[in-house]
Structure 1
Amino acid sequence: MAIQYNESEQIFHLQSENMSYILQIVNGYPAHAYWGQKLRLTDRPRSYINLSGNLALDRLPQEYPQYGSGDFRHPAYQVRLEDGSRITELKYQGHRIFGGKPKLEGLPAVYAESEEEAETLELELRDEYSGLTVYLNYTVFQHADAVTRSARLVNSGTGPLGVMRALSASVDLPRSDLDMIYLAGTWAREGHLERRPLGSGGTVIESRRGVSGHQLNPFVALAEPGAGEEHGEVYSMSLVYSGSFAAQAEVDPFRSTRLSIGLNPFDFHWVLKPGEAFQTPEAVMVYSPAGLGAMSRTYHRLYRTRLSRGVHRDRERPILVNNWEGTYFDFTTEKIVSIAKAGAELGIELFVLDDGWFGKRDNDRSSLGDWTPDLRKLPGGLTDLADQVKALDMQFGLWVEPEMISPDSELYRQHPDWCLHVEGRRRTEARWQLVLDYSRADVREYIYQTLSGIFSTVPVSYIKWDMNRYLTEIGSVQSPPEQQAEIAHRYVLGLYELLERLTSEFPHILFENCSSGGGRFDPGMMYYMPQTWTSDNTDAVERLKIQYGTSLVYPVSSIGAHVSAVPNHQVGRMTPLKMRGDVAMSGNFGYELDLTQFTDEEKEIVKEQVRVYKEIRSLVQQGDLYRLLSPFEGGESAWMFVSADRKEALAFYFRVLAEPNAPERRLRLQGLHPDYDYRIEGESTEDVLPGDRLMRIGLPLPGLKGDYASAMFRLKAVEN
């Protein structure tokens, strides 16, 4: 049993394989008691909270705190009553414990495939004055050191309520000697790992952009000072949501820390009529006693196998070539087929036609919304092109950006009110485009009919779904004034509804999420699309940091990584094809260039890269990732992948700049079985070494020459 309830002390003990999460009802308030390494269940539990001490709300460690009745820290929720007051006080009414994990209405969430692998606690809280009822859901997984949390707010009263804040999870930790770790960046520089010590007051990471954003990811971790990849306690939260979010760590005067995550309360107000409910997104909380590496692997396994869905979840992902950086908007059927033919000769399995195939799309200033083939470029249309690609024994993929509309488009001329806008106000254009109002059912239905028509008639097996700008002038002419502050969230709910329809109706299509690269790389999108284009920056050196940082939360099976031409289109750097290949093979592998421009020597290198990746991709995409050397701490990077049975491993080492008289280097590996011997094949290396020696002394690195050097090592356990 994963959840134990002691009625006399009103203690709930949630227990996984290696973790305990304990809460207790104190004076009617759910109070946080413990989150950490697994504790024994006992038939005689004592109170975990000092009931004889100061029980003022400002000192009580709470699970879902309110504001206005004595707690001056940031609250988990806030509601405006019909009389204008904002005072509510939720008290415990009862609970349910049941097997499995319920779905969240209209929202993506982690799931359980059986009632045996997870157990759920539902707490019922109520404010008697207003009639507000809140249901807190906690699910603990038997074999994952994770707890998922969400809240459902129900108006059980007689008058309307205005929800001003509704976070998904809040935890009061009895310590403040912690570092805050998160992922930051911007376009072409996503996923950069940042770390800072906590101090008095609050530290907030957030998005107010309508999407999760390039700038900050909906994830936060608190780690012991000095905690690294292999040691130290880590507490973390990841939000399964694709819109504006907020994560906050607040250190109070008594040196406890309130950690929370959820919908951003900025510019948010949801009208809740009597009998209506509001469901928050889900927060996934992971505890690790063994550093950031163990935390990441918990997220990876959970998100890879119990967040991603569909037939592609466990399948090997195809090696692709995308024409974007090879042609941009300037292509013909003949040019596209020539790139596909070159790819087929090299063993590549999928061709993806990117932007420019529809309307009069000769640049990025027109035609979004006009999803009909441009017969000037493609005289035979999409079906003819797809058939020619498939005749080469390749799959056919297609780029779309269906959340956008160009002012210079037939769709906009017919429906200028279909975009997000406020009447009488300027409509901000970014990349010469506006955002369709996905809070409207008629807009979603038009996009559904348009895309399903393409998917039903064109033999497409892959869709790259792009979204190239943030939300501005967030308003909808179809919604009444009192609902205008709901539109940003309703947009996300509308997107999820559309994606659920399309991915359910076309399960054979592998959908890839993209938002100018990693602008919407979040768990919410992973529920519908098992992989994401990680960044528009394809430079191998920049990708070391981007892919390393992104892997803090997201499994490698979700990380798209391509080889592109040099000089690199984003930074102008010249890197060897060898290094570009090794970096890209550390994710979902592909090429983004004109393959017909390769020399014979380059073609042989690519042919070998494709051959090797087909041998290693199941290990890369489904294995356990261990980060060995951080690109944020020096000029070297390294990581490795290990099979579940630890009989096979793959290690990559990268060095950015050469140095004279460099010391002899050894790469200390992780995740191997100490009692196994491993045959090692790599750069000028073939040897058999014990697992314990490889992990404690390290693997001798070859003498690499020149800047931008890399090495790959394949390890297999040998029979004794």
Structure 2
Amino acid sequence: MPVEYDEPSGTVVLRTEATCYVLRVDRAVLHVHWGAHLPLEDAVGLPVRSEPDNSFAGPFDGVEEYPVEGGARFGVPALEVRFADGQSPVEPEVTGVRVVGAGHVVVSLRDRVRPLTWETHYRVPPDGDVLERWTEFEHTGTSGPLLLVRHAAAHWPLPRRQRWRMSAVHGGWSDEHRLARTELAVGETTLTSRRGHTGHQANPWVALDTGGADEEHGEVWATALAASGSWRLTVQRTAAGEVGVILGEGHEGAEIALAPGRRHVTPVSVAVHSPGGFGAVSRAFHTYVRRHVLPYPGESRPVLYNSWEATGFETSEEGQLRLARRAADLGVELFVVDDGWFGTRDDDRSGLGDWTPHPGRFPRGLRPLADEVHRLGMAFGLWVEPEMTNPDSELFRRHPEYVLHLPDRTATELRHQLVLDFSRHEVTEWAYGRLRRMVAEHTVDFLKWDFNRSFTEAGARGGGPDARRVHIEHARGVHRVLDRLRAEFPRLRIESCAGGGGRTDLGMLARTDQVWTSDNTDAVQRLAIQHGFSQVYPARVMSAWVTDSPNPLTGRRVPLAFRFHSAMAGVLGIGGDLDRWTPAELAEAARLIGLYKDIRPLVQHGHQYRLLAPGDGALTAVQYVGPDAGQTVVLLWRPGAWFGPAHPPLRLRGLDTGARYRDEDTGEEWSGATLMGFGLPLPCLPDGDCASALVRLRQVA
């Protein structure tokens, strides 16, 4: 049973396949256990952590499931309220516990005097190891709004341990998802985005272990937030040894005014515990995303071609048709026209918001190009940036009021553009109407939805108590537009992009099909970016391109095979100028695209094992295993030249120890026990920098 509830003791046990989570509901909602499975009769008898022995400590600090600001509580609050009279303390009272269906528990609370109720929801999705939590608030009064100053989705208390280490990602534009593991300091460690979108600098997830976990061993606890706007995640470690993680939308100052009778529902926070190291936690997240988040989880993502690096803004019908024919000859399945196809878009200074074909570049419109792309056997896609406008655009001249800006402040332009305020109904109605006409008129199968600058001067016109709510509501407006588009056009597929990986989160993945991982297409640097990305997000959504050499961003020269092998670790795309590729390169590309299609079911739907991390040695390696362990593929890279001793055999994971596996290229055979115990003998890599290999193994007995 995913949920067991002992009503006399108030003990609730939530079970996933590998772990259980125990709380106790009495005068307060207190945490008991999160870790290995326990029988209910033992959970009922477990003590809650001991009461403090001095008047400077709070009795609920670190043990309350959803801490509030009020009473003898001195830790980070999940809920902080400013009532109509300016008072803030909350005095919670439990009003009920109910089990909803097989795996869903709701604990209801209210303030003892003030007009506020809230429900904390716990849910165990089937067939996995993830727990979900969220919170719903309601103003039960009849006059005056109250202000939700902090409104977290969840607080996840962790067990007491002597030592803690924190894993998270950091970075910037073209340097996203850089994994770092550091000792957790006593105090409050906060990760956040104040930018109005998920951000390149951090991502809304964190993993914690006691310092000894590795890829396949050791207890790890991890949690993530399904929010696409500004967000805040705080890990608190007290001097008394209590540790917990609080996650929520917004940041300091991003408050929500709740009018009488109104409700506010937080995004979902998901969490995983595993004794099987960071790899097991990642695979649990990957399974959850594939089964419970993605709109079409069973689909395989197509091989795409994107024209940006070939043409820049110099798009034309003739040039795109030529590239489309070359792409089709390679075996590409989706052709995407990037920036420059619309309005007066001759550079990045004009045209955003004018989503009609450029009259000089596409005098016949886009339909002839779309028809030819479809005739060639490919789907047709367009780049769009619906949340932005240039001051030099017809949209801005007609509707300057649509822009996210305060009238008495100077508008800050970044990349010569301004942000449209998607927290406003009239703006999202305009965006939806324009997008639906564009998709219908041009028979568009795919949108690359971009977002190329962060918020500035973000506030509600006319002010008000929650003037900065736009940091939350803009992203929710984007979600609503995406939901409507997908409902009207079930065949439409969408890629989330924000200058690369600046809007990668579970909230966007519930409405899109893949993520543009980074604007950095350097095949070597991508290995570290993809390594960090894979900690939470599966290869099934990780878009990766093969581009030209030398790389347009870094100038690095990389062999074509290495570029392909790097991109084949996710959703393969081609982004180079095919007009400049030699016949030999085109032939090799066609061969490797065919090879990718062969391994695609494993990469996009199999279990991922990070065998050798980037930077830990001369080699980097990742393995994908089919659900029944009948097939596996290994991608291996050596970014630099190597003159030391030979690398030891590569010990594989996830195979059937009693079965035999044949290398589909060499014909050599080994048992699963040998491949996991002794290891796979490494293939011979070419000399010099940037050598790589791909090994396919299939079960034969």
* TM-score bracket, shorter-length normalisation: over 0.9
Cα displacement (A) at 1:486: 1.5
Cα displacement (A) at 1:648: 0.5
Cα 1:376–1:176, aligned 2, differ >3 Å: closer, same or farther? farther
Q: Is the 8 A contact 1:249 1:257 kept in 2?
A: yes
Equivalent position of 2:681 in the other structure: 700
Q: Is the 8 A contact 2:192 2:251 kept in 1?
A: no
Q: Is the 8 A contact 1:238 1:284 kept in 2?
A: yes
Cα displacement string for residues 6-45 of structure 1 (whole angstroms, at most 9, x for unaligned residues): 122111111122211000124x110110011211233883
The residue identity in structure 2 corresponding to 1:18 is A
Equivalent residue for 2:97, pick from 95, 100, 103: 95
Q: Is the 8 A contact 1:176 1:256 kept in 2?
A: no
Matched, 1:481 2:480: no
Cα displacement (A) at 1:362: 0.9
Equivalent position of 1:114 in the other structure: none
Cα displacement (A) at 1:548: 1.1
Q: Is the 8 A contact 2:625 2:631 kept in 1?
A: yes
Q: Bigger shift: 348-357 or 156-165?
A: 156-165
SS in 2 for 1:368: coil
SS in 2 for 1:445: helix
Cα 1:37–1:702, aligned 2, differ >3 Å: closer, same or farther? same
Matched, 1:168 2:153: yes
Equivalent position of 1:29 in the other structure: 28
Cα displacement string for residues 351-393 of structure 1 (whole angstroms, at most 9, x for unaligned residues): 1000000011111111100111012111211111111222222
Residues in 2 aligned to 1:469 and 1:51: alpha-carbon distance in whole angstroms: 49
Matched, 1:579 2:562: yes
SS in 2 for 1:666: coil
Equivalent position of 1:109 in the other structure: none
Q: Could you tell me the percent identity over the aligned residues?
A: 40
Cα displacement string for residues 35-80 of structure 1 (whole angstroms, at most 9, x for unaligned residues): 1121123388314315777594254611001123111111111001
Equivalent position of 1:671 in the other structure: 654
SS in 2 for 1:625: strand
Matched, 1:225 2:203: no
Residues in 2 aligned to 1:6 and 1:392: alpha-carbon distance in whole angstroms: 63
Runs of 4+ aligned residues of structure 1 deviating over 6 Å after TM superposition are none
Equivalent residue for 1:522, pick from 505, 512, 516: 505
Equivalent position of 1:84 in the other structure: 86
Question: How is 1:398-417 mapped onto 2 (pairs within 5 angstroms)?
Answer: 398-417=382-401
Q: Is the 8 A contact 1:89 1:127 kept in 2?
A: yes
Q: Is the 8 A contact 2:254 2:466 kept in 1?
A: no
Q: Is the 8 A contact 1:563 1:592 kept in 2?
A: yes
Cα displacement string for residues 609-654 of structure 1 (whole angstroms, at most 9, x for unaligned residues): 1111111111111111110000042332100100110010000110
Equivalent position of 2:179 in the other structure: 193
Matched, 1:458 2:457: no
Q: Is the 8 A contact 1:641 1:651 kept in 2?
A: yes
Cα 1:454–1:703, aligned 2, differ >3 Å: closer, same or farther? same
SS in 1 for 2:439: helix
Cα displacement string for residues 80-103 of structure 1 (whole angstroms, at most 9, x for unaligned residues): 11221110121211011011xxxx
The residue identity in structure 2 corresponding to 1:38 is H
Q: Is the 8 A contact 2:32 2:49 kept in 1?
A: no
Question: How is 1:351-430 mapped onto 2 (pairs within 5 angstroms)?
Answer: 351-430=335-414
Cα displacement (A) at 1:475: 2.1
Cα displacement (A) at 1:316: 1.7
TM-score by length of structure 2 reads 0.97
Cα 1:292–1:43, aligned 2, differ >3 Å: closer, same or farther? closer
Q: Bigger shift: 241-250 or 40-49?
A: 40-49
Cα displacement string for residues 130-171 of structure 1 (whole angstroms, at most 9, x for unaligned residues): 121110000013421111000011112344311100111112
SS in 2 for 1:540: coil
Equivalent position of 2:631 in the other structure: 648
Cα displacement string for residues 221-243 of structure 1 (whole angstroms, at most 9, x for unaligned residues): 11121211100111111100101
Cα displacement string for residues 455-480 of structure 1 (whole angstroms, at most 9, x for unaligned residues): 11112111111111111111233x65
Cα displacement (A) at 1:574: 0.3
Equivalent position of 2:604 in the other structure: 621
Residues in 1 aligned to 2:69 and 2:52: alpha-carbon distance in whole angstroms: 22
Matched, 1:267 2:253: yes
Aligned residues: 695
Cα displacement (A) at 1:492: 1.5
Cα displacement (A) at 1:176: 5.3
Residues in 2 aligned to 1:43 and 1:187: alpha-carbon distance in whole angstroms: 50
The residue identity in structure 1 corresponding to 2:405 is H
Structure 2: gaps of 5 or more residues: none
Q: Is the 8 A contact 2:110 2:116 kept in 1?
A: yes
Question: How is 1:167-316 mapped onto 2 (pairs within 5 angstroms)?
Answer: 167-173=152-158, 174-175=160-161, 177-310=163-296, 313-316=297-300
Cα displacement (A) at 1:657: 1.0
Equivalent position of 2:694 in the other structure: 712
Cα 1:430–1:635, aligned 2, differ >3 Å: closer, same or farther? farther
Residues in 2 aligned to 1:470 and 1:60: alpha-carbon distance in whole angstroms: 35
Q: Is the 8 A contact 2:147 2:466 kept in 1?
A: no
Residues in 1 aligned to 2:51 and 2:232: alpha-carbon distance in whole angstroms: 35
Cα displacement (A) at 1:394: 1.9
The residue identity in structure 1 corresponding to 2:683 is P
Equivalent residue for 1:138, pick from 122, 127, 133: 122
Cα 1:445–1:664, aligned 2, differ >3 Å: closer, same or farther? closer
Q: Is the 8 A contact 2:49 2:63 kept in 1?
A: no
Q: Is the 8 A contact 2:62 2:75 kept in 1?
A: no
Equivalent residue for 1:330, pick from 314, 320, 327: 314
Residues in 2 aligned to 1:51 and 1:210: alpha-carbon distance in whole angstroms: 41
The residue identity in structure 1 corresponding to 2:512 is M
The residue identity in structure 2 corresponding to 1:547 is Q
TM-score by length of structure 1 reads 0.94
Equivalent position of 2:69 in the other structure: 67
Equivalent position of 1:14 in the other structure: 14
Equivalent position of 1:601 in the other structure: 584
Equivalent residue for 1:542, pick from 525, 528, 536: 525
Matched, 1:499 2:482: yes
SS in 2 for 1:304: helix
The residue identity in structure 2 corresponding to 1:64 is Y
SS in 2 for 1:261: strand
Equivalent residue for 1:57, pick from 46, 56, 59: 59
Residues in 2 aligned to 1:271 and 1:350: alpha-carbon distance in whole angstroms: 45
Q: Is the 8 A contact 1:324 1:354 kept in 2?
A: yes
Cα displacement string for residues 112-144 of structure 1 (whole angstroms, at most 9, x for unaligned residues): xxxxxx510000011111121110000013421
Cα displacement (A) at 1:254: 0.5
Q: Is the 8 A contact 1:327 1:594 kept in 2?
A: yes
Q: Is the 8 A contact 1:17 1:38 kept in 2?
A: no
Q: Bigger shift: 53-62 or 243-252?
A: 53-62
Q: Bigger shift: 571-580 or 634-643?
A: 634-643
Q: Is the 8 A contact 2:339 2:383 kept in 1?
A: yes
The residue identity in structure 2 corresponding to 1:530 is D
Q: Bigger shift: 130-139 or 664-673?
A: 664-673
Equivalent residue for 2:473, pick from 466, 485, 490: 490
